[in-house]
Structures are given as C-alpha cells and as structure tokens.
Amino acid sequence: MPLQLPDWPWDALEPYAARAKAHPDGVIDLSVGSPVDPTPELIRESLAAATDAHAYPQTVGSPALREAIVEWFARRRSVDDLTAKNVLPTIGSKEFIAGLALGLGIGEGDVVVQPELAYPTYAVGAALAGATVVSSDDPSEWPENTKLVWINSPGNPNGRILGVEQLRAAVARARELGAVIASDECYAELAWGEQYGSAATPSILDPRVIGGDRRSVLCVYSLSKQSNLAGYRAGFVAGCSDLIAQLTTVRKHLGTLPPAPIQAAMITALGDEEHVRQQRERYRSRRDRLRTALEGAGFRIDESEGGLYLWATAGEDAWTSVGRLADLGILVVPGTFYGVAPSEHVRVALTATDAAIDAAVSRLSATA
C-alpha cells in the first residue's frame, strides 16, 4: 500500500520564489530557518581532531557525550536529575521526530496529537506509522486513543513559549490517556525577553513540571540553531529511561549511529556557552531591525517570544502577503504551511546575513 504522506508544501512557493528572484537587486530569502553564520572554530577543531574514526560508533553515544548532555541539561535547562540512561544522541532532530511514532509501535487506529500550528514533520511521522493526526493545543480535546503528543516550545512557526503550568497540564493529560508526550525544544536558547535559556523557556523535564517523574516524557533537542551545526546533524533526546532503552534498541537495528567525529564536536558545543551567547545576540539584533521594519510596513507581529522567526500579519490572506513581499524581492512562508487554511500570517526567518537583513529593512522601509 502506498504511503499517504502530506503534500510537500514548498512546491507551492516556487512561483513566489521566481517573483522574488526577479527583483532588480536580487532575492532576500527569509523563508528557511537554515543558519548562515560560521560554525564556531572551536567546534570545527574538535571535529577535525576526531576524524580518525575507523570503528563503528556506539548507538547510545560515547560515555563522554552522554555525560556532556546530562551536564548541559543541569546547567542550561534546570534539569539536574538525569543520568546516562536518560539520554540518547540522534542524527539531528528531524529524523528522530519523523521516526518516533514508528519506534513506539504506534499504528492504525492510534492518534498523534500535534500543536494547532505545527512543524510539518510531526504529521509526517504519524503518516509513516499509519496513525491519525489531531491538531489541538487544548489537552481536554485530546482523544482517548491518543498514543503520542507533540508539543513545541518555543514554537515553529509562531515562537510561542509554554510556561510551567501549561507544560504540567499537558503532561498530566498525556498520562491520563496513557500516551507518550514529547517536547520539541530546539529553540530553547533563543528567547527574546529580558530572560533567556531555562529561565524563559522551561523544559518539559523541569522538576516544576514533572516533579522528578520522567515516566512517558521525552525532550528533543538540536544544536543546529544555537551552535550553527545544521550541517552536522547533531541532536539528542532525553527523558524516560524505559523509552530511551526501547528507542535505543530500535536504532541499533536500524543502524542510526551518530558519527564519532560529530559526537566529539557535540561535546565541545555543549560545554561552551560563549559561542551560544554571541549567536543569540546576532539573532537578537537581526530580529529587532526586521521587526521594526515589518511593523513600519503595516505588519503586526504576534507571539514570537522565542525562536528564529517572526509571526507576522497584515490582516490579509497569507498568500497575498507572500506575493507583496515577493515583489520586493523578499521571500517568506505562508502560515498555511503550518496549520489549517486560511491563514493571515506569514513566517519570516531571521536566518540571513546582516547585509541581507539590512537590505530587507531598506526595501520594507521604502513602502512605509
């Protein structure tokens, strides 16, 4: 039986990309959240030093990497009760997200819950397993046959940050249903209020949320955003040791082994906070400039408390906004890619060079 995967939404953006590329001064691509800044030198040095990788790496990761993940959770996420049994490196976070439902044995007749505005890979993972997707942010609406719940904070595309009480309510309902709950927290270091890191973006593993009971709870993380390691495919999952053991067995059979040099680079990245601080400030500056320009051009910015995007609306159909911005040579994504149509929001990425952001600001300001 052929897989019933969701349509690939980016194909619909192609005509608008062509319009943006036709701008006399070229396209400014704010559609994809792919880092443009260099990978920090100290991480690249760690990678280079580990390239004599003649033996197969461990699926569970090296002891040093697992310890680095445990230490990072304690230092940056206020989660100080993990052990090596509670963590597992992954080949980025997307492959783990797409394969989690399968790895848990979820199938036809089961429900996977995702946020109302959702990263499309949650639904892809449900489709691969033959499960049904329900989009809901209200735990009371989650159906009885729910087997997996995805939450995302800070959220993609809207940058919403969930507080301790919201996380606690989600965990309680998932447990009531006998479901696994997985929190995608890959933007956690990118919060834009006065606080940042764990102070502003509580983890689902925070003791205030689960009180030390990790049963059925997972936290998924990636170093792509905070450390410019998108090309390294460096991620990890932490939480319930029983689930980690089950997923480790699955991954052993599949051969999903994080490469040894990448594991070495991850240890360095997790141990250094300065490069994360510098990158956060780059994004903060780009965000401030772009937000001001969008507001001056008639857009309102909603939520967007964290992450790498501005969730913007001009009070019109999203595709109309995509088209108007494309005529300025600025490519963005319609909200329809992340939720039920129609949508009046567009997602505007901060992942462009300072020169590109300045050019976008100039073009937007000319329309004010």
Shared domain check, 357 and 217: no
Q: Which domain holds residue 342?
A: 9-38+275-365
Q: Report if residue 223 sits inside a domain.
A: yes
Number of domains in the chain: 2
Name every residue whose Cβ is closer than 8 Å to that of residue 298 and which is 6 or more positions away in sequence. Answer: 314, 367, 368
Instruction: Please report, in tens digits, the pLDDT of each residue of the chain (368 residues total).
Output: 567 777 788 889 999 999 999 999 999 999 999 999 999 999 999 999 999 999 999 999 999 999 999 999 999 999 999 999 999 999 999 999 999 999 999 999 999 999 999 999 999 999 999 999 999 999 999 999 999 999 999 999 999 999 999 999 999 999 999 999 999 999 999 999 866 555 689 999 999 999 989 999 999 999 999 999 999 999 999 999 999 999 999 999 999 999 999 999 999 999 999 999 999 999 999 999 999 999 999 999 999 999 999 999 999 999 999 999 999 999 999 999 999 788 999 999 999 999 999 999 999 999 87
Shared domain check, 141 and 104: yes
Shared domain check, 311 and 167: no
Q: Which of 271, 299, 329 is the last residue of a domain?
A: 271
Shared domain check, 208 and 302: no
Report how far apart, in Å, the C-alpha atoms of 117 and of each of 19, 184, 197 are. Answer: 27, 13, 23
pTM: 0.95
Name every residue whose Cβ is closer than 8 Å to that of residue 255 and which is 6 or more positions away in sequence. Answer: none
Shared domain check, 339 and 267: no
Shared domain check, 244 and 304: no
Q: Which of 250, 271, 292 is the last residue of a domain?
A: 271
Q: What is the helix (H) or strand (E) element at residue 330, kind and residue range? A: strand 330-331
Strands 132-135 and 111-114: what pairing? parallel
Shared domain check, 160 and 18: no
Return the CATH number at 101. 3.40.640.10
Q: Report if residue 4 sits inside a domain.
A: no
Shared domain check, 294 and 241: no
Q: Report if residue 3 sits inside a domain.
A: no
Shared domain check, 337 and 203: no
Report how far apart, in Å, the C-alpha atoms of 90 and of each of 69, 148, 162, 276, 336 are. Answer: 12, 19, 24, 20, 29
Task: Count the residues in the chain.
Answer: 368
Long-range (24+ apart) CB contacts under 8 A made by 168-171 are 168/208, 168/209, 168/210, 169/139, 170/139, 170/204, 171/204, 171/209, 171/210, 171/217
Shared domain check, 28 and 46: no
Return the CATH number at 360. 3.90.1150.10
Q: Report if residue 319 sits inside a domain.
A: yes
Q: Which of 221, 251, 271 is the last residue of a domain?
A: 271
